[in-house]
Structures are given as C-alpha cells and as structure tokens.
Amino acid sequence: MRQVTINATSLSPFMYQGKRVVTFAMIDEVHQRPTGAARKSFNAHRQYFTEGKDFYRLTGQDLELFKLCASIKRTHKYSPISDKAREVTLITESGYLLTVKPFNDPLSWQVQNQLIDAYFRLSEFPELQHINIPTLAELEAMPIGEAQNLISCLEADSYQGHGRRGSYAMNLRRKEKKALKPMVIAIEQASQLHIQDMGDYRS
C-alpha cells in the first residue's frame, strides 16, 4: 500500500475491520510529541471514547494476526507495533480527533488536516494493486499456524480490496483467488484442518 507522508513522517496505512487506524506511537511521532503523549490524552478522556467505533483493543490471536498482516505490508523500517506487544490500541479517525483535541499548537492543527485528508480518507477510486502472495516453498517453510494466519490475512485483504463491483477489481480478485487456492489446499493437507470461511476455494 502506498506510503503517506505527514509532517516529514512516512506512514504505511494500516487497516482494521475496513477502517484505517493509527497507534499512539504513530500519533506521537507525526505530531512531534513526547512518547506517551497520545496515550495520556486518551486515558485522560477515556469516557468519551466508544470501543468498536473510536478504537479497538487487540490481544491474543487477534493481535498476532494483525501484527502478521502489518509485517506483510510493511515497506520500510518503521513499524507501529512492537513484536513483543501483548496488547495494542488501534485508533480510528473519530478516535484520533478525540485524542488530539487537547493539542492546540499550530503544528497540530496542520497535522490534523493532513492526516484526515491524506491518511484516513480513503479514495473513492483507490489504486488497485495485487496482494503479495508467497510461494508454496515460502509457505511450507513457515510453522503451520503462522501459514494459516497468513493465508487468512491475505484472503481478507483480497476480499476487502477487490471483492467489490468493478470489472478490473473483480479480475484482480479472481486472479488472487486462483493464486491462493493451492496455498489453502497445501495448508489443509499439512494440518488436516479446514481453514474457516475458505470453502469457496474448492469451487
């Protein structure tokens, strides 16, 4: 996914449940705030935030899958989530605006406008790109659980990005499903487990 540059900081957009999200660390960096400033603002005004609308809190398998998906899409050294993190809070556009509401300096006003326009607001006709599908050899070299999560992540990206109306997008979707099908079969044969919600790959 194409990087977005805000206040001389390059960000690789991250999605969760169809929405672009940021972390506290990303907010601190782009606003040039001390580490922990965004989290402090969030905690101080927590009663005004609605989970599932303004933010998501990930732990356990949900967090591991998100970190895996994020690492796949990472195109530069900056990572918003530590590999050692046990819990992460993802902030949506509405949550971001609530978090930075106390930031009243001129730079913050400028950054807010740029982040909303260039990062959170998805283009009506976004650039369509193939998802990055690994080879069978790369997949076989992974632990089976990681391989299952990887294919689940790629399938979700393919559906969210290309599983909508429009001939070009649907052509990409068909090609990606064709490329993913042998991956799904290989994983099922290796683990003798059925990957949830992927029965259509046998058709």
Maximum average pLDDT range among 74-83, 87-96, 140-149: 87-96
Domain boundary among 74, 91, 120: 120
- Given a cut of 70, is residue 171 above it in pLDDT? no
Domain boundary among 120, 152, 171: 120
CA–CA dist 73, 151 (Å, integer)? 14
Do both 141 and 41 map to the same domain? Answer: no
- Given a cut of 60, is residue 94 above it in pLDDT? yes
Domain boundary among 120, 149, 173: 120
Q: What is the pLDDT of residues 7-36, one digit of tens each?
A: 888 887 788 877 889 999 999 999 999 999
- Given a cut of 50, is residue 121 above it in pLDDT? yes
Q: What is the pLDDT of residues 154-165, one digit of tens each?
A: 766 665 554 454
- What integer best gives the mean pLDDT of the chain? 75
Do both 15 and 102 map to the same domain? Answer: yes
Do both 44 and 112 map to the same domain? Answer: yes
CA–CA dist 153, 143 (Å, integer)? 15
Question: Domain span at residue 35?
Answer: 4-120
191 compared with 186, residue with greater pLDDT: 186
Would 104 be classed as within a structural domain? yes
Query: Rounded to two decimals, what is the model's pTM?
Result: 0.63
